[in-house]
A and B are shown apart, each in its own frame.
Chain A
Amino acid sequence: MGTSSGPKLSGMQKQVLSLYRGFLRAARLKSPEDRRQIESIVSAEFRRNSQQVDRKNFLYIEYLLRRGKKQLDQLKSPDTVGMSSLYLNLHQPTNHKP
């Protein structure tokens, strides 16, 4: 993954971490089971992208950030219980697994 430690975080890294934090905060407001489910989906997605996405592919990372922010806004709505439906809908078109 090559996540930097000592050196300062780039602006884009900060945005990604802030988005991750936002998801974890939003998850706190859901029921305990939903929270656990949301956390595991979100964490898996961030980790998958941190390993698979080229760190210099700024355009794609910016796209992912924008998509993530939209998903986060939807998750924040009290009507949204979990992520699964939300996630599948938004995830499919860009899922480039074989």
Chain B
Amino acid sequence: MAARGALLKYLRVNVQTVPQNPRPNTGLFSLSFNAILRHFSEEVRGSFLDKSEVTDRVISVVKNFQKVDPSKVTPNAHFHNDLGLDSLDTVEVVMALEEEFGFEIPDNEADKINSINLAVDFIASHPQAK
């Protein structure tokens, strides 16, 4: 019993050492903590990219695709009708766009993207695109 008492005393957690409010001298710590929090929430929320910037970047990705004739790439080009890409090529292009903009496009969305216009619209309306 004595041993148990000693053990319980030893295990007791001192609640009072945790301050309710950050003391003034922890200002630096709380500031950096806030900065991390803010950064994190921005990361999750993201922000929308400018549409003309998205268009330029999408066009340059598509122009760099080996099977595409760069002179045929316009903001209104359709992947199959204008650029002669098949559905497997289209998957590759959309995957390249994912890497360019740093986010993953789910299958059901990716299946719908078959033109530069649709790609730009989707990416410009996606908060995670970087």
Q: Tell me the A residues contacting B by CB distance below 8 Å.
A: 1, 3-6, 9, 13-14, 17-18, 20-21, 24-25, 28, 43, 46-47, 50
Nearest CB to that of B84 among chain A residues?
A5
CB–CB A50/B88 < 8 A: yes
Q: Does residue B49 face the partner (Cβ distance < 8 Å to A)?
A: no
The answer to whether B107 and A47 have CB atoms under 8 Å apart is no
CB-CB under 8 A for A13 and B87, given A6-B80, A18-B107: yes
Name which residue of chain B comes closest to A8, CB basis.
Answer: B111
Chain B, range 90-130, C-beta contacts under 8 Å to A: 91-92, 95, 99, 107, 110-111, 114
A46 to B95, Cβ gap below 8 A?
Answer: no
Interface residues of B (CB under 8 A from A): 78-81, 86-88, 91-92, 95, 99, 107, 110-111, 114
- Once bound together, how far apart are the Cα atoms of A6 and B91, in whole Å? 15
Chain A nearest CB from B123 CB (Å) reads 17
Verify A17–B114 contact, CB threshold 8 A.
no
Contacts A21-B95, A21-B107 given: A6-B81 contact, CB under 8 Å? yes
A17 and B86 contact, CB distance less than 8 A: no
